[in-house]
Amino acid sequence: MRVLFDGYWWDGDARGTRAVQRELILAWHRAFPRDQLSVALRPESPADDLPAAVNRVTVRLRPHALSNLVELRRLARRERADALVVHDFTPLGGATATIVHDAMHRDHPAWFPMSQRLYSSAILPSARFANIVATGTRSEAARIERHEWALAPVTSIGVAARTSLTTASPARPAIVADVTQFALTRGRLGTRDGIDDAVAAALASSRVTTQSPLIVVVDSSRRSVEARLSARHRAARDTGRIRFSGRLTPAELSWMLRHTALVLSLAPDENMALPAMEATWFDAPLVASDVPAHREVAGGWAHLVPVGDAVAAGAAIDARWHAAGDEEARERILARADWRAAARELRAAIVSSTAR
């Protein structure tokens, strides 16, 4: 099979999309070495880690939506692709498979600026042109179907921990150079990733102290993090119990996940729940918000708490600090969390759709 993949975010800023794009392409190449793969990348995207057997093609239009809508169908014809796999935005001429990462802008419009809501508004309608619509989790598939019933059934391909973390050689980051214990949360500043809830929970905990702080890893540069901290964040930081870090390398984040006393994942909603999945992979005690994606991805391993309940989350931090979890549940979770399995699921769906 000849397949052209959308690789617009191969080395870009959309972290969740980037992770799924990379993992699926690399896993597909390992699982089906006889397939001829091409990846559509932006001109500036370095491709040193792209396997030699995978062909690189170039897309030039900006932004991602315009590139997908206009360029990819033409490139698929040029590459004589049997299948075209895209992310979020489906070409006007259709795609074999569109991976929709989430439809949270439909459920929680207040979390997103108007510009982003307008930009994302084309995702679900354009997906009607795809043979297959897929997403990472069953819970997100249900959300997509609820908002755009014509896309049903949406295929859930599954998610796994990023190989950039699981294969990295751990390196201790400077932000924890002076402490022996710490808790960890990560995401973007703002409502969607639950950073405010994690800070409130940490301040309600007796385990989080100046000697065992909560480390908040924000997916931005250090300078950007400092400029974007709210007065509430600065007040929490001034207690010495909360530390804010900019983006860490995979080696640094791998070290943090291996050594943390506990991971907090308190997002008020989730699509793929990658932070919870990665905490589970690294055997880290996990306190997570009780939302469908966390129940699906880490149920049985995570200690689930009601969304927005700082007192319950603080008590859970104290109870789960360095505590052993249910290893049988963890083994069941990891047994189904595999990027090659996700690639096989997607390929099987493509083969089935083209055989009709």
Summarised one tens digit per residue, pLDDT across range 105-153 is 999 999 999 999 999 999 999 999 999 999 999 999 999 999 999 999 9
Residue 355 has a pLDDT of 66
Task: Report pLDDT digits (tens) over 21-55.
Answer: 999 999 999 999 999 999 999 999 988 889 999 99
How far apart (Å, rounded) are the C-alpha atoms in residues 135 and 156? 5
Mean pLDDT in residue range 79-105: 95
Residue range 155-208, pLDDT digits in tens: 999 999 999 999 999 999 999 999 999 999 999 888 899 999 999 999 999 999
Task: List phi, psi (to 5°) of 40.
Answer: -90, 110
- 95-99: strand order across its sheet: 55-58, 36-41, 2-6, 83-87, 95-99, 130-135, 155-156
4 vs 356: which has the higher pLDDT: 4
From CA 2, how far away is CA 15, in angstroms rounded?
Answer: 27
Rounded CA gap, 305 and 121, in Å? Answer: 31
What average pLDDT does this structure show over 57-77?
96
- The DSSP secondary structure of 211-241, one letter per residue, reads SSPEEEEESS-HHHHHHH--HHHHHHHHTTS
At residue 222, the pLDDT reads: 76
Q: What mean pLDDT comes out for the span 58-87?
A: 96
Type and span of the H or E element at 185:
strand 183-187
Is pLDDT at 95 greater than 90 in this prediction? no
At residue 49, the pLDDT reads 86
**Confidence class of residue 356 from pLDDT cuts 50, 70 and 90?**
low
- Reported as a single tens digit per residue, the pLDDT across 2-16 is 999 999 999 877 678
pLDDT tens digit string along 222-249? 778 888 899 989 999 999 999 999 999 9
Tokens standing for 157?
């391909």
In contact, 62 and 45? CB cutoff 8 Å: no
pLDDT band at 345 (very low <50, low <70, confident <90, very high): very high
